[in-house]
Amino acid sequence: MSWLQLVVLAVVQGITEFLPISSSAHLILVPALTDWPDQGLALDLAVHVGTLGAVLLYYRSDIRAMTVGGMALLRAPLQGTAPEGGARLLMALAVGALPVFIVGGVLVVMGW
């Protein structure tokens, strides 16, 4: 596989990952539209891991704040303090994820 193919696939992944359409489908379209050989599952996985790394790097300060805030949240009842900063962000993330867990649980119970 040439460097050009790698760069094109990386750019396609970077642009389409956060669209509400599967970036994996776009990675399949690239070889179909360019007559390049299929890049295979290993490269698809590599570009997805690269995307995960980029997201973690971009949000590292928020992740760090939520980690520290989570520890402070565990100590808050003992100290009688109100959550702030990273702890509030962590709580907002947990509350925002609740509907997904509830709907997912209902679907699992229903056998979907």
H or E stretch covering 33: helix 23-34
pTM: 0.74
Q: Is 101 helix (H, G, I), strand (E, B) or coil?
A: helix
Q: What is the pLDDT along the chain (112 residues), one digit of tens a residue?
A: 889 999 999 999 999 998 888 888 899 999 999 999 999 999 999 999 999 999 999 999 999 999 999 999 888 777 777 788 999 999 999 999 999 999 999 999 999 8
Q: For the chain, what is the largest distance between any 2 Cα atoms, rounded to a whole number of angstroms?
A: 65
Show the DSSP H helices in 17-112 as ranges: 23-34, 40-58, 60-79, 86-110
Taking a C-beta distance cutoff of 8 angstroms, is the pair 9, 30 a contact? yes
